[in-house]
Amino acid sequence: MMRLFKKPEKKSCCEGKCNDESMQESLNKQSQGARIKVLGSGCAKCMTLEENTKLALNELGQMQVVDHVTDFSDIASYGVMSTPALVVDGVVVSFGKVLSKDEVIHILNKVGF
């Protein structure tokens, strides 16, 4: 006997809020704000990446503001499908992983920050 199961419906990551207008607005925002951004919903992993990034900047003697982007359209405009993500000067340098303070320092040094 063969059983057939209905595949569960996949929900959109942006809850249907992404459209051409919101994506264009998000693309325009990419160049605004802080040089360093954490992309994520605000979950514990995203908050840990933000804290580790601030600790890394402090250790490097950098007085930088870290933006935390939670809007799904803004996150999608970076091409990120897995959060948390770290963006430096508009370039996604890490995604889908909570970086340690030392890993953030290594990345910041590598990109010449």
Residue 57 is encoded by which pair of tokens? 């900047």
Residue 113 is encoded by which pair of tokens? 């920050």
Enumerate long-range contacts of 18-22, CB under 8 Å, 24 or more apart.
Answer: 18/72, 18/73, 18/76, 22/73
Answer for the pair 38, 86: CB distance below 8 angstroms, yes or no.
yes
Question: Which residues are tagged catalytic?
Answer: 43, 46
